[in-house]
Amino acid sequence: MQEKLWHQHYDYNVPTSMRFPRIPAQNLLQLAANFYPDKAAINFFGTEMSFWDLRKNAIRLANALASLGIKKGDRVGIHLPNLPQYPVMYYAVLHLGAIVVNFNPLYTPDELKSLVKQTGLKAVLTMDAFIPNIKEVTKAVDIPILIATSLFDYKDGMDSSTSESLKLESGWHHFSQLIENCTNDALPKVDILPEDPAMIQFTGGTTGIPKGATLTHGNVIAAAFTAVTWGAPTADLTPREKRNVMLALPLFHVYANIVGMNWAMLNCATMILVPRFEIDSFMDLLANFDSITFFPAVPTMINAIVHHKKAKELNLAKKINLLNSGGGPIPVELIDEVKNLGITYSEGFGMSETTSLGLSNPNLGLKKNGSIGIPIIGMDVKLVDTATGEKEVPIGEPGELLLKGPLVMKGYWENPEKTAEELKEGWLFSGDIAKMDEDGYFYIVDRKKDMVIAGGYNIYPRDIDEVLYQHPKILDAVSVGIHDAYRGETIKAYIVLKKDETATEKEIISFCKEKLAAYKVPKLVEFRNELPKSAVGKILRKVLREEEAQKKQKEKK
């Protein structure tokens, strides 16, 4: 690969290019099971499953699924939180050359119906709490094979469920019983190529039905090897026998799937599975571990942990070896708090369409506050004029972020029009506005669709968010462009205050006036107990915009 400006900042043992093995993604599990068969692959509230047992269960389940008629190319939905059943099912599906379709278990039946139709599912795995939702979906869309499990089926000391206890109707299969009833330990004989699809990962989207990014076995392998190699400068300080990863992010999200689960396989690291992030119980769980090798997180999660009453007591810097932030911009103010605690920290950027990765700050090298870092191994990035989508912008000027390389998806599932619109000559148009400095470090300015035009000025809400987080009374904040009859759009700030704090709209606006140009200062402030967030904790501006639009509609009536 041609030498790039940012290559000079790579850590001392990180190459600028790599040759990735032409193996299917499930072989990552095979490696861990061969070299560390008896080490815990999974820790689920103290109950462990070894890498060998994870492999054995995955292969037996693969053979059981094959006997039900699942074959290469079939789409299989996983509709679960972080349970041991997730990685077992994930690698079982990949062994057959079938395609994993990740579903957020909190989706409503209506949301699920459209996604099931879009992907043409052959099978789905769900859990007891969500069986009613899947039943509702099947009234409108046929799913030939239905499989169910229960929350604590793989938890020592708890009664395991059965088909009878779950009251499964005819046509449903029980997850554990499928494995127990299969004695075939032979690897399925399926030819799988790097270009074959491995996963369909739904993008968050800003409007309409989410798009299904088709990620290949080659994408997953490239992402896993890239993540492990990029993280080696710090991870290698911990022997493989002791490596682990805290997975409080959901595995159905591409970030945790790649940087957590698949990273863990190649690192032979134990996955500490957290089905749901609730701050008090999470801090209690964290207290049980002397050391966490890697903790991938999102800004809202980090914010909650850093400000928790037990943060100092737990001495997080001695406990967490590397904390990584992704899934959305993190306020500079919060980065400073993390550093002041003594935690080794890094920030990066990726998308469903880039198999979770794209840019990152070096683990040991130069980090820049507020920067998403530099393009990682094998990736090329450029910034182009937002109007034309062609001409590259000068250093320091904002432009749309385009990415190219081995991590970029094959396309959107059965959506050639959208694929052609966002993937041109190998370049993925991210929809994010960024700037690059003279060292080759990139900074996200905002989402292209989040940019506000008020009174002729282009306003990037992140500039305002950064200022809001500097206010000593504010815990969570986000700014949104809403309709304004005079200015076209105007800025409204949504604020969550820290516990026992009070503030007024006037106070917040006055604070912003001291730090922002007049045209950027919020004209409206709304205080809330919480802000709408995605499954991984990303604040959802689009929900707030939709609420404001509905208010306007009611006012017109």
User: What is the C-alpha to C-alpha distance for residues 173 and 364, in angstroms, rounded to an integer?
Assistant: 49
Cβ pair 269, 263 in contact under 8 A: yes
Q: Where in the chain do CATH 3.30.300.30 domains reside?
A: 452-556
Helix, strand and coil percent figures for the chain, each rounded to 5: 35, 25, 40
Beginning with the edge strand found earlier in the chain, give each strand of the sheet holding 270-273 in spatial order.
Answer: 47-50, 40-44, 270-273, 244-247
- Do 371 and 393 meet the contact criterion of CB atoms below 8 Å apart? no
pLDDT of residue 207: 41
Identify whether the C-beta of residue 221 lies closer than 8 Å to the C-beta of residue 26.
no
Query: Residues 413, 406: contact at Cβ < 8 Å?
Result: no
Tell me where in the chain the CATH 3.40.50.980 domain(s) lie. Answer: 48-192
pLDDT at 515: 85
> Which two tokens mark 530?
């919480």
Alpha-helical (H) ranges within 407-477 are 416-422, 461-468
Q: At the top level of CATH, which class does the domain 5-20+216-447 belong to?
A: alpha beta
Classify residue 388 by its DSSP letter.
Answer: T
- In this structure, the number of other CB atoms found within 10 A of the CB of residue 413 comes to 22
* Among the listed residues 112, 124, 373, 113, the one whose alpha carbon sits nearest the alpha carbon of residue 230: 373
Sequence-ordered list of residues with C-beta below 8 angstroms from that of 301, at least 6 positions apart, any chain: 248, 249, 277, 537
**Please, what is the angle between helix 51-67 and helix 27-35, to 10°?**
140
Half-sphere exposure (CA, 13 Å, Cβ side) for 106? Answer: 11
Q: What is the pTM of this model?
A: 0.85
Residues in CB range of 324: below 8 A, 6 or more apart? 259, 294, 295, 296, 297, 345, 346, 347, 348
CATH entry, 48-192, from 3.10.450.30, 3.40.50.980, 2.40.110.10, 2.40.30.20 = 3.40.50.980
**Nearest C-alpha neighbor of 366 from the set 3, 6, 2:** 6
Q: What dotted CATH number matches 452-556?
A: 3.30.300.30
pLDDT digits (tens, 9 = 90+) for 537-557: 778 888 898 888 888 777 766
pLDDT tens digit sequence for 182-214: 999 999 999 999 999 999 999 854 345 689 999
Task: Give the chain's residues under pLDDT 50.
Answer: 205-207
Residue 449 sits at φ, ψ, to 5 deg, of -80, -10
The rounded distance, in Å, linking the Cα atoms of 386 and 482 is: 21
* Main-chain dihedrals φ then ψ at residue 437, nearest 5 degrees: -90, -175
Question: Which amino acid is it at 341?
Answer: L
450: nearest Cα among 460, 465, 441: 460
Burial 269-306, CB ≥16 within 10 A → b, else e: bbbbbbbebeeeebbebbeeeeebbbbbbbbbbbbbbb
